[in-house]
Structure 1
Amino acid sequence: MKYVLLGKLSSDWVSRQEDRLASAKAKLEELGITIEAVYYTQGAFDFVDIMETSDPTAMLAFSVWYGQQGFGSIQTLPAFDETAMAAALGKL
């Protein structure tokens, strides 16, 4: 399953990007989550990532862990492709 992750950095970690990234990447690997893309943005969120995992509880665990580290806040959104959307609409 793919997820879109919307993130805001805390002021403490904005200047410590390398440390935050190293810790986050290690945790993602431990949880079996792969990063497909990372984009830094302007506006309401500082970054948008596309991630994939077969275990939704792994993404939930990462979200909780990220907040515990004080890195900032993230929102994770399950992302559905056209095939999944068509299948869902077929059930209406």
Structure 2
Amino acid sequence: MLEVTAEELKRRLDSKEELFIIDVRECWEYDEVNLGVTNIPLGELPQHLSELPSKNTEIIVHCQSGRRSGQAQKYLTRQGFSNVATLKGGLDAYLEL
């Protein structure tokens, strides 16, 4: 399972690296606090596959703590996406920085 630490993600975002990040939390959670990334709730992911980049592009998925993003990572990998990482510790870890 590929993981990105909160520190690494912050460094990459601060350096303005072009990243494709999916927040798989529910819309109401996203509305409360977010990183300004694409919001696709976990349950809606199958309907949005056509909106994702090519299957070999790096995709980082995150949720609040890491559980749902792990499920999203497994699902995307089964759909043929080869470079999917999760944010270790989720948004909780990122917000602690």
> TM-score under structure 2 normalisation?
0.33
Bigger strand share: 1
- Structure with larger RCO (C-alpha < 8 A, sep 6+): 1
> TM-score under structure 1 normalisation?
0.34
Larger radius of gyration: 1
Bigger helix share: 2
